[in-house]
Structure 1
Amino acid sequence: MSGFSTKVQEVFNEPACDKNLKKSDKERKKGCSKPLIPGAAAGGCAFDGAKIVLQPIVDAAHLIHGPLACEGNSWDNRHAASSGPLLYRTSFTTDMSELDIVMGNGEKKLWKAIHEVVATHRPPAVFVYSTCVTSLIGDDIEAVCKHATEKLGTPIVPVNAPGFAGSKNLGNKLAGETLYDHVIGTMEPEISTPTDINILGEYNLAGEFWQVKPLFDKLGVRVHCCITGDARYVEVASAHRSKVNMMVCSAALINLARKMEERWGIPYFEGSFYGVSDTSDALRNIAGLLVRQGAPHDLIARTERLIAEEEARVWRRLEPYRERLKGKRVLLYTGGVKSWSVVSALMEVGIEIVDTSLRKTTPEDKARIKELLGDDPHVLENMAPRDMYAFLKEGKADIMLSGGRTQFIALKARTPWLDINQERHDPFAGYDGMVELVKKLDATINNPVWAKVRIPAPWDEAGAPSARDFTIDPTHVARFRKAFAEREAQDFEEC
């Protein structure tokens, strides 16, 4: 475990993270997030974060070395879509039991599981994930994976990210370390062009990457690899030959972007595909960096023409909704890059942001929010459910955009709610995604059901009779008691 501890400390000391550099040595050792609460790690531990990053490599097999519940709690936790292979949807686990742990059968069971997966499915690679239990009992998955790779001739990649190591964000970074150490640079691409790019931190949630890729196709820019949405193992393994990296969420894979620049000279920048202006800026940045890396100089002019055409088209499609949504108030309760990218997208159609959260945001994210909202005080580090309910109940927002965990607070307050987090089924990226987001907002806010559910119940209306207005005649009570006693006596005689 000493090597693993060293790797975790390297991630904590990420030199490309401005927030990390401002910390003292003591604070830096604590990592980036609050300690996990025992019993509440599902959906927030390092193992889950690593699985989120790596599972969208759709043609690989993903084997969990640990108890069955670890796979059950993490499987398919994001709707990362595939355009072909579906092996990543199959759950593989060694299903460690108490007897396996006591008898020390972990490594033997892992070897047998790897052999069975390779023999049955013939994947291009197998990712093997350690968990809390198998790490605590000392199973050496790196040694087993190395032995299996030599014997089977298939890359078996160890993912050392047990849940107790830290938060989901740490797991994201450890997954990036895994790709850097064991995958990227191990294969060469069949085709390489001066306009090859990688997109880091994009997981093709609800097919969002497919809304952006046609834009690059029109420009003649080849997305060599999306790390890791709808990715193939060979694409990831040969990603070191691309010319530019774009990070969709720097908090997740900034360590991978930095190391790829240091080792292979691939420049990177952080951008977003949420909203019209952010999508246009991302295209401009990619074109500019590609030209600096040797792409044809006319790429910049062609990019500007495409942006002008797409923006004109998207604003024509948005025009019918702008009047209906202008001035509508939104409570945005999300995290990370969406805290500012979605703000920008909503403001473009005239929507007012009454509050936005700062959960899981970096100093760069906070700076962008301040740039968009000015010195507006309506930013939240966190909001208790009780306060959120009161805020919505008082009618301070026309709709709440958040994840599924807070939807019932909005519904209890009889306020429209729209899913904006990674569990959603609707793609909101790119120009077309902006239109889809606005359509969903309009359909949700202006749904006639809200006028119905807000009508007071008859017993809540002014002047309606209450329970105190009704009295019971004592003679009726006495008559009922007498009838009940007679019936009870009759039943006793029959028995």
Structure 2
Amino acid sequence: MSLLRAKIQDVFNEPACEQNRGKDAKARKKGCSKPLTPGVAAGGCAFDGAKIVLQPITDVAHLIHAPLACEGNSWDNRGAASSGPTLWRTSFTTDLTELDVVMGQGERKLFKAIREIKEAYGPPAIFVYPTCVTALIGDDIEAVCKRAAEKFGLPVVPVNAPGFVGSKNLGNKLAGEALLKHVIGTVEPDDAGPYDINILGEFNLSGEFWLVKPLLDRLGIRVRACIPGDARYFDIACAHRARAAMMVCSTALINLARKMEQRWDIPFFEGSFYGITDTSEALRQISQLLVKKGADPEILGRTEALIAEEEAIAWKKLAAYRPRLEGKRVLLNTGGVKSWSVVHALMEIGIEIVGTSVKKSTVEDKERIKQILKDDNHMFEQMAPRELYAMLSEHKADIMLSGGRTQLIALKAKTPWLDINQERQHPYAGYDGLVELVRQIDLAIHNPIWRQVREPAPWDCQPAVREELPRTKSETATLRAVQEFAGTTAGNFGEC
């Protein structure tokens, strides 16, 4: 536990984070996230964050050493996609019971589970995740994994990120530390080349990275490892031989990028594949870093030719949507890299941004938003559901882009909504991804259902009657009771 505490403090002291460098020593020890309240998920625990980062490694067996509920609450928590192996979608857990805890059978049961996975599935590696229960009772995960690796002849990687140590974001970083300690650099590739790169913090949600990789392939750039989206264990083990790296989500794996630069001299930059301009800039920076590391400078010319060709195709496709969407107002309730990358992408086609959330955004993210929007009046750290509803019901936005948590708020306000977070069903990265995003926004805004749901309900109105027959006292009382129940007053029905 003391080793885990030391590792957590090291993650808190992240020198590559400008926000962290601006803090005093006392504030730095508290980390970036708010402390968790016992018994409250607070948007995800450290175990959840570690599982999010490592589960998209598709050929690895992910074993949860814990009671069954821990795995049940975290399985398949992101819409990452695989181009091959499906083992990552199989749930493995030691399913500890109260009897196992009391009798001290946790470590024995873990070793047995590792053996069964090895014999039944033969994976290239097994990742073992302790949770709050097994960490508190003191199971020595490191020792069991080391012994199992020696006994069964395959890597068994302990991922020390029990939920109680902190937030989901901290778990992201602890997962990166596990890769650095146990995986990256353990295999030497025999085909390393001058055009090898790593993509860090890319989760391949809904297959998004598959829209970007063909662009890199056309430039002769090989993705040595995409961590973690659609990754393979041996690709990550060889990732230390890449020549450059691109960081997509710095809040998750900035520590991984920095330490790989220190250990193996792999320079990195933070970029985005959302939007035409940002995708083009990302391709340029990748090529420039490769040239600095010894690649042939002719790749710069080929990159510009590819960008010109792809941008022309994308703008031609978007021209059909501009008259229908120009001037439409969008409220973006998300965070992190999407808080600025999606903003830039939408503004490129004339959509107005009425607000964007910066809840999980870094200082650099917020500065980018200020540069894009020219002010910070449209930025909000957090907006209560009541405020979101008021903003949408007053028609201050034509559509809201957010995650599933706020979907019902938009629907209650009778406002179009589009999922932009990890549960989304459509890929939005790259040139083709932006066209798809715009197409989905157009479909949502112009869906005829919104005109229908905004009309008065049948029970809120009645046809006008020229002559009203006299009512008895009981009929009048009954009518008044019905009107009060419907939220109206006598004689105050609208006309359809």
Distance 2:370 2:448 in 1: 35
Quote the offset at 1:326 in angstroms.
0.1
Quote the offset at 1:436 in angstroms.
0.4
Tell me what 2:417 maps to: 417
Tell me what 1:196 maps to: 196
Distance 1:159 1:31 in 2: 20
Does residue 435 of the first structure (1) align with residue 435 of the second (2)? yes
Are the aligned partners of 1:42 and 1:48 in contact in 2 as well (CA < 8 Å)? no
Q: TM-score, normalised by structure 2?
A: 0.93
Shift in alpha-carbon separation, 1:436–1:135, aligned structure 2, 3 A: same
Tell me what 2:124 maps to: 124
Tell me what 1:207 maps to: 207
Secondary structure of the residue aligned to 2:73 is: helix
In the alignment, residue 208 of structure 2 is paired with which amino acid? E
Are the aligned partners of 1:244 and 1:290 in contact in 2 as well (CA < 8 Å)? yes
The CA RMSD measured in Å over matched residues stands at 1.7
Matched ranges for 1:89-104 at <5 A = 89-104=89-104
Does residue 174 of the first structure (1) align with residue 174 of the second (2)? yes
Secondary structure of the residue aligned to 1:198 is: strand
Quote the offset at 1:192 in angstroms.
1.1
Does residue 276 of the first structure (1) align with residue 266 of the second (2)? no
Are the aligned partners of 1:403 and 1:420 in contact in 2 as well (CA < 8 Å)? yes
Deviations, residues 399-431 of structure 1 (Å, cap 9, x unaligned): 000000000000000000000001111100000
Quote the offset at 1:458 in angstroms.
3.5
Secondary structure of the residue aligned to 1:101 is: helix
Are the aligned partners of 2:355 and 2:378 in contact in 1 as well (CA < 8 Å)? yes
Shift in alpha-carbon separation, 1:476–1:154, aligned structure 2, 3 A: same
Shift in alpha-carbon separation, 1:341–1:471, aligned structure 2, 3 A: farther
Shift in alpha-carbon separation, 1:462–1:339, aligned structure 2, 3 A: farther
Tell me what 2:16 maps to: 16
Distance 1:455 1:376 in 2: 36
Quote the offset at 1:189 in angstroms.
1.6
Are the aligned partners of 2:36 and 2:42 in contact in 1 as well (CA < 8 Å)? no
Deviations, residues 114-137 of structure 1 (Å, cap 9, x unaligned): 010011100000000010000000
Secondary structure of the residue aligned to 2:319 is: helix
Tell me what 1:449 maps to: 449
Matched ranges for 1:212-291 at <5 A = 212-291=212-291
Quote the offset at 1:473 in angstroms.
3.7
Quote the offset at 1:311 in angstroms.
0.2
Are the aligned partners of 1:60 and 1:233 in contact in 2 as well (CA < 8 Å)? yes
Structure 1 window deviating more from structure 2 (42-51 vs 224-233): it is 42-51
Secondary structure of the residue aligned to 2:451 is: helix
Quote the offset at 1:40 in angstroms.
3.0
Are the aligned partners of 2:197 and 2:221 in contact in 1 as well (CA < 8 Å)? yes
Shift in alpha-carbon separation, 1:442–1:106, aligned structure 2, 3 A: same
Are the aligned partners of 1:56 and 1:230 in contact in 2 as well (CA < 8 Å)? yes
Structure 2 unaligned spans of 5+: 478-496
In the alignment, residue 235 of structure 2 is paired with which amino acid? E
Are the aligned partners of 1:36 and 1:167 in contact in 2 as well (CA < 8 Å)? yes
Secondary structure of the residue aligned to 1:360 is: coil
Quote the offset at 1:474 in angstroms.
4.3
Quote the offset at 1:100 in angstroms.
0.7
Counting matched residue pairs gives 474
Deviations, residues 23-69 of structure 1 (Å, cap 9, x unaligned): 11111111111122333328510000000110111001000000111
Distance 1:323 1:464 in 2: 41
Are the aligned partners of 1:43 and 1:73 in contact in 2 as well (CA < 8 Å)? no
Quote the offset at 1:376 in angstroms.
4.4
Are the aligned partners of 2:369 and 2:376 in contact in 1 as well (CA < 8 Å)? no
Tell me what 1:187 maps to: 187
Distance 1:317 1:193 in 2: 36
Distance 1:414 1:423 in 2: 21
Does residue 107 of the first structure (1) align with residue 91 of the second (2)? no
Are the aligned partners of 2:14 and 2:20 in contact in 1 as well (CA < 8 Å)? yes
Tell me what 2:144 maps to: 144
Tell me what 1:54 maps to: 54
Secondary structure of the residue aligned to 2:421 is: coil
Q: TM-score, normalised by structure 1?
A: 0.93
Distance 2:47 2:68 in 1: 14
Give identity over the alignment, percent: 69
Normalized per residue, the structure richer in helix is 1
In the alignment, residue 114 of structure 1 is paired with which amino acid? I
Shift in alpha-carbon separation, 1:460–1:310, aligned structure 2, 3 A: same
Distance 2:397 2:373 in 1: 17
Does residue 5 of the first structure (1) align with residue 21 of the second (2)? no
Distance 1:90 1:143 in 2: 25
